[in-house]
């Protein structure tokens, strides 16, 4: 795993520098991007940026699990999850 990370503030600054836009504008775009992503997933809409990333809501079926402390069987309710898939360009970038 990489020891380096990029937080939101650093990401906004980097995108602002790369695009020539102000950090305020880029921050607004990032907020709008995640609001749209959340709204789309909430509505069951898959979001795809070909070659880069795909994000979709998944359904988890109800199942029987085990309490690790007691070993007792417990019923786990059905739930929703999120699946994020890297596209070919993102995978190639990760390879270096």
Q: What pLDDT, on the 0 to 100 scale, is given for residue 3?
A: 79
Q: What pLDDT, on the 0 to 100 scale, is given for residue 20?
A: 97
pTM: 0.75
pLDDT at position 2 over 90: no
Tell me which DSSP letter residue 7 carries.
-
The CATH label, of 3.40.50.300, 3.30.365.10, 1.10.357.10, 4.10.520.10, for the domain at 47-96 is 4.10.520.10
7-40 tens-digit pLDDT = 999 999 999 999 999 999 999 999 999 999 999 9
Q: Are 31 and 68 in contact (CB under 8 A)?
A: no
Measured at the alpha carbon of residue 32, what is the angle toward residues 28 and 33, in degrees to the nearest 5?
115
List of E strands, the chain: 47-49, 53-60, 63-66, 73-76, 79-86
Domain with CATH 4.10.520.10 in the chain: 47-96
Q: What pLDDT, on the 0 to 100 scale, is given for residue 90?
A: 95
31-89 tens-digit pLDDT = 999 999 999 999 999 999 999 999 999 999 999 999 999 999 999 999 999 999 999 99
pLDDT at position 1 over 60: no
């Amino acid at each position: 795993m990489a020891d380096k990370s990029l937080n939101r503030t650093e990401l906004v600054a980097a995108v602002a520098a790369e695009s020539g836009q102000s950090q305020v504008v880029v921050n607004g775009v990032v907020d709008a991007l995640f609001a749209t992503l959340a709204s789309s997933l909430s509505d069951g809409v898959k979001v795809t940026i070909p070659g880069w990333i795909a994000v979709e809501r998944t359904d988890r079926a109800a199942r029987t699990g085990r309490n690790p402390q007691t070993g007792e069987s417990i019923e786990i309710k059905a739930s929703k999850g999120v699946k994020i898939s890297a596209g070919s360009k993102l995978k190639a970038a990760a390879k270096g």
